[in-house]
Structure 1
Amino acid sequence: MNRQGTLGRGLTLGLLQAAMLLGLGGQLLLDRALRPRGWARTQPVDPYLPIRGRYVALHLMVRLEGERAPLDPSSRGGSRSWVSLHSRGGEVLARPVPQGTAGALPARGASPAGWVRLEPPVAFFIPPAGPDPSRGPLRGSMWVEVTLPDQGRPRPIRLGVSDGELFPPRPLPLG
């Protein structure tokens, strides 16, 4: 095999990979610009991995809108239920839906105040110079702003903190 043929194939493969990466990045930026977004309360989870990188796993806690009967009232896990998400007034809200509904996400439990926990947790990647906000003391509750795609789990954008009175939450400086 000659050197010029190998170089041409390598260049073609590199261009194909760059096109795929730019396509995915463009799709995510387009979703962020056009899809609804809102704030959801979070519970940080340590994934217990020896090499976990610079991210924190977050359980999204969303307020259940409307009737609460379809969800298990146990806040300690309970049975899995299905919800669809939408944004109103800058907050992410959940609505009970039957399993198999387009865009339905699994949720567990419901608190007496009507909060459900989405399953599984989402990953929020922390900038290299930024502190891990889940490991230090916070004054208030941690929230995450997310984009709500047509299909799949919400995509985290930024973290914030609220003292219970403040909405939307104050964004956390991460680097």
Structure 2
Amino acid sequence: MSHTILRIDASARDAASVSRQLTDRITAKLGGDVIHRDLAETPPSFVTEEMIGAYFTPPADRSAAQDATLDASNAVVAELQKADTIVIGMPIYNFGVPAALKAWADLAARVGVTFQYSADGPKGLLDGKRAIIAVASGGTESGSEIDWATPWLKFFLGFLGITDVQVITADQLNMEAESKIEAAYDEIEALAA
């Protein structure tokens, strides 16, 4: 059975992007069928009032216009549901995630589809999947008190039920780029396929 990887690149940079270099290596190491979502090439839609209305309308009661407004979210959700492993290239911009990655997350979080509420609180519906986050930053130390991006993304994935999350980091690149990138490459080589 084929292994499906959803690769999400959030960097606004192209060839010079360290997070993209890491996701290149991770997907090559893991092998399998790759679905690639490039958030810089095709920026995700922002949530609108119409989308929110459609989210909370039962599918059988939605109008054609409501169905159409959910197309972008449905595509994001379908990719997540199909994937066995999610590989996210995440640069840290101003201590947080790029706006495009937050917009993608807003399309992915769908009550009754990717998570649900119960008497015990929210429960993710995408369990059984693995995620690998490739973090790159110029000055922010990953996992430090000024890194709001990495903990947020790990929490968000867990909220959707994806709790098997590994972080590969090339941080503080403005200070010691070569050694940090080499250390990240070593972590990728050690990944289990």
User: Normalization by structure 2: what TM-score?
Assistant: 0.22
- Tell me which protein shows more strand as a share of its residues: 1
When Rg is computed on C-alpha atoms for both structures, the one with the higher figure is 1
